[in-house]
Amino acid sequence: MRALVCEEFAPYSELKVHDIEEPELAPGMVMVDVKAAGVNFPDILLVEGKYQMKPPTPFVPGMEAAGVVSALGEGAQGVKVGDRVIVATMLGAFAQKVPAPAAQTVPMPDSMSFEEGAAFTTIYGTSYHALKQRAKLKEGETILVLGAAGGVGLATVQIAKAMGATVIAAASSHDKLEVAKEAGADHLVNYTSEDLKAKVKEITSGKGVDVVYDPVGGDLAEPALRATGWGGRYLVIGFAAGDIPKIPLNLALLNSRDILGVFWGAWVGQFPRENAQNMKELFDLYEAGRIRPRISAAYDLEDFRKAFADIMERRVMGKVVLTT
C-alpha cells in the first residue's frame, strides 16, 4: 500500500511516499481503508522531531482519518465491515490503510463526507473538550478566539455560538476575519493592525472576556490573558506562532484568573466514555446544521508537501486534508 513515511526526523520536505507492507491487524483492532486524512500542525512537529512525543522511526504520520472498515481483528466490537467511520490514530493515517482500536472507531453520520469526517475529530474534539470540560463555558459568557480562521479556531467559533456565548474572533487578516464572521463570530479583531487588549476591552465595555482560547501563543498570549476579566479562564491549546510564551504569574493572581492546559489526546485516553459522549453531542450539532468543518484544501497523498506548506505558511482557513 502507499503511505507517507518518516524515516528519520527531518524537515517535512524530505518525507517520501513509499509502497510498504499492509499493517497487521491485532485483536480488538479494525482495519480502515482511508478515503481522507486530516492534516494538523502537530503532524509537522512530529516528523521534524519537535513534538512532545517522539515515536521510533520509521513511522507513518497522521493522527485522524475517515474511511470504510475493511476487516475486523479478533474480538473487535461496535463496528462492522463496510461501515463509514472516523478514527483517531495519533500515527498511521497518511496511508491507504490504517489499523485503529475498535473502541476509538466512530461511525460517521450518513450526511457527512469523508473529507469532512477527516477534518472533524481533532479540531472539534479539542475545542469542545476545552470549552465544556476545561473552561466550563456558560451561556451568555464572552470568549476571545485567537487564530479564529484556523481549524480549531473556526471549530471553537461554531461551538461557542452553539453553547450560547458571544464570540470575539481574532485573526491576522481581513479575509480570515470574514471567514470567522461567516462561522458566526459576533465581533472581529485584526491583531496585525489593532491592539488586541485595547480592542477587546472596548468591545466588552472594559469588563474583559470570560474565556480566551489560544492555539497561537507567541506575542499574543500575554495581551490575550490581560484581556480577561475577573475569574477569566485562559485556555492553552498550542503554539502555532512557534514560540512558547513565558507568562508573568502575577497576571493569574490579578483578577483571579485561571490558566488551563488542554491536551485533548491524553484526556481521551483517560476518559473514553466522556469523549464518546462529547462526540455524540458534536454529531448532533453537525446534523442540526450548527457546526460544519470548512475544507480549506484537499490534496492527493502524493502532494502532501503542498498541504504541509499551507499550514506552515498560514494560508489555511479551516482544515487541509489528504485523499488516498
Same structural domain, 258 and 193: yes
- Inside any domain, residue 286: no
Q: Is residue 259 part of a domain?
A: yes
Helix (H), strand (E) at residue 274: helix 272-287
- Sign of the CA dihedral running 35, 116, 68, 12: positive
Q: Burial level of 150, CB count in 10 A (0-12/13-18/19+)?
A: buried
Residue 89 has pLDDT above 90, yes or no: no
Identify whether 23 is preceded by a cis peptide bond (ω within 30 of 0): no
User: What is the sign, positive or negative, of the torsion defined by CA atoms of 90, 234, 133, 36?
Assistant: negative
* Domain identity same for 89 and 180: no
244 plus 216 within the same structural domain = yes
Reduce the secondary structure of 174-200 to three states and give it as a string.
HHHHHHHHHCCCCEEEECCCCCHHHHH
Answer for the pair 37, 67: CB distance below 8 angstroms, yes or no: no
Give every CB contact of residue 235 below 8 A, 6+ residues apart in sequence.
130, 134, 135, 211, 212, 213, 214, 260, 262
Within a domain: 149: yes
Identify whether the C-beta of residue 220 lies closer than 8 Å to the C-beta of residue 146.
yes
Decide if 233 is inside a domain. yes
- Please report whether residue 275 resides in a domain: no
Confidence band of 134 (pLDDT split at 50, 70, 90): very high
Domain limits for position 93: 2-120+293-323
Residues 196 and 254 in one domain: yes
42, 102: one domain:
yes
Of 265, 283, 304, the residue that ends a domain is 265
Residue 251 lies in a domain: yes
Contact present, 2 and 303 (Cβ < 8 Å): no
166 pLDDT exceeds 90? yes
Per-residue confidence (pLDDT) for residue 243, from 0 to 100: 84
Please tell me the distance from the alpha carbon of residue 250 to that of residue 254, in angstroms, as a whole number. 6
- Round to whole Å and give the CA distance between 90 and 269: 11
- Number of Cβ within 10 Å of residue 113's Cβ equals 15
Number of domains in the chain: 2
80, 142: one domain: no
Same domain, 135 and 261: yes
Whether residue 131 is found in the same domain as residue 239: yes
Contacting residues for 253 by C-beta, under 8 A, at least 6 apart: none
Q: Binning pLDDT at 50, 70 and 90, where does residue 239 land?
A: confident
> 56 to each of 3, 30, 91, 180, 300, how far by Cα in Å?
17, 23, 11, 38, 26
Tally: H helices and E strands in the chain: 11, 15
* 245 domain-assigned: yes
The CATH number linked to 131 is 3.40.50.720
Does 65 share its domain with 94? yes
Query: In angstroms, rounded to a whole number, what is the distance separating the alpha carbons of residues 223 and 225?
Result: 5
Proportion of the chain above pLDDT 70, given as a percent: 100
Same domain, 233 and 114: no
Q: Are residues 16 and 32 in the same domain?
A: yes
Residue-averaged pLDDT of the chain? 94
Q: Is residue 197 part of a domain?
A: yes
pLDDT category at 189 given cuts 50, 70, 90 is very high
Q: Give the pLDDT of residue 103.
A: 81
- Give the model's confidence band at 51: pLDDT under 50 very low, under 70 low, under 90 confident, else very high: confident
Of the candidates 303, 309, 293, 301, which has an alpha carbon nearest to the alpha carbon of residue 150? 293
Do 137 and 15 belong together in one domain?
Answer: no
In which band, very low, low, confident or very high, does the pLDDT at 41 lie, cut at 50, 70 and 90?
Answer: confident
276-312 pLDDT tens trace: 899 999 999 999 999 999 999 999 999 999 999 999 8
Quick one: which of 301, 212, 309 has its CA closest to 262? 212
Which CATH number goes with the domain that contains 72?
3.90.180.10
